[in-house]
Amino acid sequence: MRIKPIFGSLKGYYKETFLAPLLVILETLLFSQIPFIIAKLIDNGINASNKDYIIQTGLQLLFITFVMAIFGVLAGLFAARGAAGFSKNLRHNLFYTIENYSFSNLDKFSSSSLIVRLTTDVQRLQNVYQMSVRGAFRALSSIFFSIYMSYIISPRLSLAFLFAVPISAILLLVIIKLAFPRFDKVFKEIDNLNRIVKENLDGSRVVKAYVQSDYEIKKFKEKSSKLEKLYISAYKLMVSVMPIMLMCVFAITIVIVFFGSKMVINSTLTTGELVSLVSYTSMALFGLIMFSAVFVMAIVSAPSVKRIVDVLEESVDIKDKKDSIKEILNSDIEYKDVSFSYLKRDDKLCLENINLKIKEGESIGIIGSTGSSKTTLVNLIPRLYDVQSGSITIGSVDVRDYNIKILRDSISYALQKSVLFSGTIKENLLWGNENASDEQIVEMCKIAQIHDFIMSLEGGYEYKIERGGVNVSGGQRQRLSIARALLKSPKILILDDSTSAVDMSTEAKINKELKDKLPKTTKIIIAQRISSIENCDNIIVLDEGKIVGEGKHDFLLKSNAIYQEVYYTQKKEVSDASI
């Protein structure tokens, strides 16, 4: 498992990451002296009834504990500061990486999974950081110093540690190796559960409309119980860690007390020394237990590391070239033999050999049945996805040669599913162009036929849109999205089914305004209704990812079977509706 990308987030907090363990080691070093000093106190002070020595040693112990306390507090402060900074950096890095993702990168991760990675997983690593810089170093230095001091007191008795420590370390490793796959499953299931919750909450209105609450509750319960079982199975293994560690340490204590008392009787060891050896055993016990706790935590968090690294290392497939072109001279668009597959497979093409020319200022309509790849076709222009083969040029330059920001800034795209953010109407519109003046905003809203509606709202342009735009209707949301797209003053305007929820007469007004007020903007209009595009300069009929017809309305109506069928079906629907 790769963890190197995580270390990048330590930047700016190296000092804390270095000082916290150093202070912990110094604190433990001082702590390890205490049993040794007490041993002397017993042998030279208490057993020899030397009051001065007792007082002197007492003061020495007081001083040591005071310094230890200072080291401990400082280590805690550095660790907390380092952990908070590390997780802040990690969150920033993740967010920045995700913001740079292309659509195909985003297709790989569900949004609920990304949320868990940015929150729970980062929090977990923050805890691991804090536990590691203090706990792990305290544990390891406790083990090391206790063995070292035992060795100084009695090299023979300290041999007991040489057996016990490697045995317990091997046992720990075995348990961890077994536990890892189980925790991996737990995290995958948490992702699943989050996905279900998110989908359910996002679609709660649909769930209620279809009276599917019971079904959703059942589905949630099943996943939740599965998670419970997986958790228990993973922790079943981990619960054995502590008893095993305790067993090892008690075994050492018995060995030391058994042989140590014999040595005291033979006068090869003093009472004080035996007492201190038992203390060192407890210190080693403390070290091992703490080490296993840190290790368990690290294991539990290992899948989080993997999940974060997966996001950080996902290679962003749509990037700027080195000498990218920063100016778009004209907005003639040309598709040359373009093929595309979401799966990057030649046998699963969504678009096949598309050849198309769109002149600057022209309006082009795209029509075709649902799933015929209309959205896919236009997604390739702002490079939301890149072509599989062939090329798309704007002003005779391949879109892949442009600077992405410049390219996307000159294209406005009202997405098929219009999204508004919580905030005022004006804030939502300024999102298209933060420097737009009030006059410009009003002008664009008039073109999008939404100005009158906005003025009828309480507060007008200051009216607050709720999260997801729930307090405006579908058609109003679409028109606001069109106005937002227009505010960018784009060279190319793409409207993907953006007037599907707008009534036909309003739609006709929008189209007329677009034609009159934006003569230089190239307009690409995807629609289901022929009435939305019949006045376009050119119309493309798409079927299963191929262009099966191209021309003006009258021409297609005479020559194209699919176009005729759509036209007459819709005409019939309109006349049926008016009866």
Ligand X SMILES: Nc1ncnc2c1ncn2[C@@H]1O[C@H](COP(=O)(O)OP(=O)(O)OP(=O)(O)O)[C@@H](O)[C@H]1O
Binding-site ranges for Mg ion (CB under 5 A): 375, 416
Cβ count within 10 A of residue 358: 22
At 239, give phi and psi (nearest 5°): -65, -20
How far, in Å, CA of 333 to CA of 383, rounded?
13
3-state secondary structure 30-79: HHHHHHHHHHHHHHHHHCCCCHHHHHHHHHHHHHHHHHHHHHHHHHHHHH
Query: If binding is defined by CB under 6 A, does position 372 make contact with ligand X?
Result: yes
Contact 246, 232 (CB under 8 A): no
Contact 524, 358 (CB under 8 A): yes
Contact 404, 336 (CB under 8 A): no
Closest distance to ligand X from the beta carbon of 215 (Å):
25
Query: If binding is defined by CB under 6 A, does position 416 make contact with ligand X?
Result: yes
Query: If binding is defined by CB under 6 A, does position 478 make contact with ligand X?
Result: no
Q: Which of 109, 231, 342, 555 binds ligand X (CB under 6 A)?
A: 342
Close Cβ partners of 180 (under 8 Å, ≥ 6 residues apart): 299, 302
Q: Which of the ranges 202-210, 278-286, 321-329, 373-381 carries the binding residues for ligand X, by CB under 6 A?
A: 373-381
Map residue 306 onto helix, strand or coil: helix
Contact 120, 39 (CB under 8 A): no
Q: Which of the ranges 276-284, 363-371, 487-495, 500-508 carries the binding residues for ligand X, by CB under 6 A?
A: 363-371
Q: Which of 518, 540 has the CB closer to ligand X? A: 540
Q: Which of 371, 460, 468, 519 binds ligand X (CB under 6 A)?
A: 371
How far, in Å, CA of 236 to CA of 244, rounded?
14
Single-letter code of the amino acid located at 570: Q
How far, in Å, CA of 5 to CA of 311, rounded?
10
**Contact letters (x/-) for ligand X, 237-276, by CB under 6 A?**
----------------------------------------
Query: If binding is defined by CB under 6 A, does position 108 make contact with ligand X?
Result: no
Map residue 403 onto helix, strand or coil: coil
Single-letter code of the amino acid located at 280: Y
373 binds, among ligand X, Mg ion, none (CB under 5 to 8 A by kind): ligand X
Closest distance to Mg ion from the beta carbon of 377 (Å):
9
Element (H, E) at 354: strand 351-358
Closest distance to Mg ion from the beta carbon of 399 (Å):
20
Map residue 432 onto helix, strand or coil: coil
Closest distance to ligand X from the beta carbon of 29 (Å):
58
Cα atoms in the Cβ-side hemisphere of radius 13 Å centred on 285: 17
* 549 Rama sector, left if φ>0, alpha if ψ -120 to 50, beta otherwise: beta
Query: If binding is defined by CB under 6 A, does position 374 make contact with ligand X?
Result: yes
CA 98, 101, 103, 104 torsion-angle sign: negative
Q: Which of 372, 449 has the CB closer to ligand X? A: 372
For strands 351-358 and 333-340, give the pairing. Answer: antiparallel
Q: Which of the ranges 301-309, 371-379, 399-407, 505-513 carries the binding residues for ligand X, by CB under 6 A?
A: 371-379
Closest distance to Mg ion from the beta carbon of 99 (Å):
24
For tokens 């093929």, the residue is: 339
**Contact letters (x/-) for ligand X, 485-514, by CB under 6 A?**
------------------------------
How many residues at the interface with ligand X, by CB under 6 A?
12
> Which DSSP string do the residues of 225-236 spell out, in sequence order?
HHHHHHHHHHHH
Q: Which of 253, 375 has the CB closer to Mg ion? A: 375
Closest distance to ligand X from the beta carbon of 106 (Å):
8
Query: If binding is defined by CB under 6 A, does position 102 make contact with ligand X?
Result: no
Q: Which of 13, 385 has the CB closer to ligand X? A: 385
At 541, give phi and psi (nearest 5°): -105, 120
Closest distance to Mg ion from the beta carbon of 359 (Å):
24
> Which DSSP string do the residues of 161-176 spell out, in sequence order?
HHHHHHHHHHHHHHHH
Strands (E), 247-297: none
105 binds, among ligand X, Mg ion, none (CB under 5 to 8 A by kind): none
Q: Which of 136, 312, 350, 541 binds ligand X (CB under 6 A)?
A: 350
Single-letter code of the amino acid located at 21: P
Closest distance to Mg ion from the beta carbon of 298 (Å):
46
Q: Which of 301, 373, 521, 538 binds ligand X (CB under 6 A)?
A: 373
Closest distance to ligand X from the beta carbon of 373 (Å):
4
Q: Which of the ranges 56-64, 85-93, 225-233, 367-375 carries the binding residues for ligand X, by CB under 6 A?
A: 367-375
123 binds, among ligand X, Mg ion, none (CB under 5 to 8 A by kind): none
376 binds, among Mg ion, ligand X, none (CB under 5 to 8 A by kind): ligand X
Q: Which of 233, 416 has the CB closer to Mg ion? A: 416
Closest distance to Mg ion from the beta carbon of 415 (Å):
9
Query: If binding is defined by CB under 6 A, does position 154 make contact with ligand X?
Result: no
305 binds, among Mg ion, ligand X, none (CB under 5 to 8 A by kind): none
Closest distance to ligand X from the beta carbon of 8 (Å):
30
* 191 Rama sector, left if φ>0, alpha if ψ -120 to 50, beta otherwise: alpha
Residues that bind ligand X (CB under 6 A): 107, 342, 350, 368, 370-376, 416
